[in-house]
Chain A
């Protein structure tokens, strides 16, 4: 479908596993703004088995709220004219489990890891990573390939011109497994080959007969560089042509949209990248859902995405309990409760995932779980977002006592400028201050870090929109998507509780505040109603606020509901070992920030 020359009215949908969300954007007085949002249950599953039903229902809700006529029967009116219709329609999708991939490479920490990065960056869930050195016997790898029914496989391995026998062997194992796709029994599984260019003929000979093979440029042409773009693009193309085409109703939906449907996380990742590139900042984005938690980051220009497939707030809430441990969840509760009771409550949330907390106690428990889910997902991300491994490094004598083996994490919390949270527990927290503190506790930012949430989970819509109209996407992102929660100031250094660690000054046009911070506190400087605050942090000797030990940092930041959060509880965050003392500390902190107004 061709794009109109002038775009004034935009309709965007995100078809999630349970809900389809539609937004209407209009250009008014020269600026693109969100007009309304509508939602309806997703209809991919029986009894409807047609995704367009849910899309039409969500769009009808948009019509009702906006008063604009968008549908003509079951058709989206486009282009806009005479006060009806839209100029463009774009969509993302994660319905039916999203895009599920298997990746394979030769060396686990090199080409297999690069392939994993390419798949994750494209918005996929990586079900399995195979490598020649993954410790499994060939028949075990074949069994694994057969058990899984991915939507597609990405095969990589070897640098261009290097040895090809290992990657060819991996192709032989894939052929022997004769893998079947998850959706649609009548077509061959798409396999993308993005490995050693010299092995292409052999790969074609082995895989063409049994799979839908496509070949793109090597994603690791030399050890020193990754070239993930072509593989990522091919994943998006195949997602549309093969995977989505098999899902019920998507054939029609694809014909309606002006640009290809993107996997939801792929679109969110794109938006995070666009925001980081525009301002030249390091950004961390997180989307915590019912089943999974996605983490996106741009550090020093390098984009990474991880998906923690079983860390979520409902379907997989019990898995958070298993992975974090009961004591780690209980450490965020300002009251005591028995282990059995806490476990039962989480089990009951798992089996009744759509229920919501009605009491303050239940809300606090859910937010405690969220802190741990976010912490674990971030830990996984930190371990994955690393420098390329296997790259030769030139060393000098001065490196003798500081030898790095490569693979150093790119995540640098001290340089992180902005954290964007989304997902029900953050975006719909009864108070924005609760969302801010959940992120502070989970990510433990250092120095000065701005916090924000995606107000109504619009980033997928804006991400896919940015592929056709980046300016419109960024305007709506700035004006209607982000809700600023204020900065967190966390000077880093060591000392005993009560040691003075920084002087924090916040200034607006109307007033000025000064806070003398001592180690072991959680405090907030209420900075009035101003949108922006001029912040000056003077760290004590031995403490770093972002510019080095004892060096003053001055920055203009966005204000938030709590004003400026000052967190001097230490990095890593220190909590009392004794349960009663910990409860008392939490009660004190929560009261000081008026976090749970009715909890006392």
Chain B
């Protein structure tokens, strides 16, 4: 296969980022191409059909289903208010009538003479989407949404939890190897995106939620700590809808893993700048990675360059080893043998020779490296 390695995560100080903001149903676009937008600018809205309630009028009036239409006081498509009479039996000589009141305000959607049911639909509820990025609208998708673009820094994580947010960045450690513990968290981190080092303890995460931090970015995290925080284990890496009070992004993986220096330094240079943050992750076809996007001061668009992953693996490429026994380490590609090699497991795989930071030369399956994108 042409690409037997995992394409790397983007860590770029200056790039152009475009994000499509799409409504779940067709609706109305509220901005135009060229409009300058902030992360919380509403760019499109639609109305979701309201919930439906059913009333079995035939049962309530003790009549046959086919008699229901004749007993309806309100007809299909008519608006009705909660508590209003919608059906009444004919009674005996006009006496001893039974009646049915509407359970919720809405519109009569259907009267069935087969089941005797009446369906009432509540009014529509508005759904709005915001721009998410601090940028410019570059395209409108009629009745669907917009494309928002910005020039600046973009850092992708490997795994995230929680939805979109935007806040100021605050790095609270000195080194990518540092651990963040509970006593390092205080009220000053309220409304901030807190950038850490190699790991954050469960206690510290809980305190961040308590003080009202907006997000946290960290190299590693214990897998079971996420489960403890959510109250359930994440079984499949499809996230973004969790509501735990803050958005979390793990840049390297599970366990204690120093944040890549490039990522750490870039976040340090962005201290007190506003960032858009998304924890949404989907690791299947149509990959979505969590991300941190920070608009550059000038705001002008920079030309996007061919990424390292686009060029493929080459001798000298900077790579990350993503599996034991050197999980998390950085290395450079020393050579790319063509023929498959027998691994210690007995399996044959295409490999590369990598030079680790300590100078040692090791053989690694190509499937077990990621190109470090710059």
Chain A residues engaging chain B, CB cutoff 8 angstroms: 17-19, 39-42, 44-46, 57, 95-97, 138-139, 142-143, 146, 164-165, 168-169, 172-173, 175-178, 180, 185, 202, 206, 291, 310, 315-316, 318-323, 339-341, 343-348, 350-363, 428, 430-431, 597-598
Contacts and interface: CB of A to CB of B under 8 A. Distances in A.
Contacts of A341: 255
A340 B52 contact: no
A292 to B, nearest CB: 10
Given A178-B49, A318-B234, A355-B367, A340 B224 contact: yes
Given A176-B119, A340-B222, A354-B6, A345 B324 contact: yes
Nearest to B113: A202
B223 A139 contact: no
A598 to B, nearest CB: 6
A138 B56 CA distance: 11
A41 B2 contact: yes
A173 B51 CA distance: 12
User: Which residue, B26, B65, B115, has most C-beta atoms of chain A within 10 A?
Assistant: B115
Contacts of A598: 344, 346
A139 B254 contact: no
A362 B1 CA distance: 24
A345 B220 CA distance: 12
B236 A316 contact: yes
A215 B3 CA distance: 46
B324 A361 contact: yes
B209 interface: no
A358 B325 contact: yes
Given A17-B284, A355-B322, A363-B345, A316 B368 contact: no
Which 8 residue pairs are nearest across A and B when measured between Cβ atoms? A319-B235, A430-B346, A347-B223, A347-B254, A344-B254, A430-B347, A344-B255, A363-B345
A42 B253 CA distance: 27
B51 A143 contact: yes
B233 interface: yes
B114 A362 contact: no
Interface string B111-130: 01011010101000000000
B115 A351 contact: no
Interface of B: 1-3, 5-6, 25-26, 49, 51-54, 65, 109-110, 112, 114-115, 117, 119, 121, 158-159, 222-224, 233-237, 253-255, 281, 283-286, 322-325, 327, 343-347, 349, 364-365, 367-368, 370
Nearest to A319: B235
Contacts of B49: 146, 178
Contact of A315 (B112, B236, B255, B368): B236
A184 to B, nearest CB: 13
Nearest to B58: A165
A318 B347 contact: no
Contact of A356 (B119, B233, B365, B370): B365
A14 to B, nearest CB: 15
Contacts of B2: 40-41, 57
Contacts of A340: 222-224
B315 to A, nearest CB: 21
A295 B57 CA distance: 45
Contacts of A355: 6, 322-323, 365, 367-368
Nearest to B223: A347
Given A95-B285, A143-B51, A165-B65, 8 more contacts: A46-B286, A172-B117, A176-B119, A315-B283, A318-B236, A322-B233, A347-B223, A358-B368
B223 A344 contact: yes
Contact of A343 (B3, B224, B285, B367): B224
A584 to B, nearest CB: 23
B112 A356 contact: no
Nearest to A341: B255
A360 B345 contact: yes
A358 B1 contact: no
Contact of A353 (B5, B117, B224, B283): B283
Given A142-B51, A177-B52, A319-B236, A19 B158 contact: no
Contacts of A357: 323, 343, 345, 347
B101 to A, nearest CB: 17
5 contacts: A168-B115, A318-B236, A344-B222, A348-B254, A598-B344
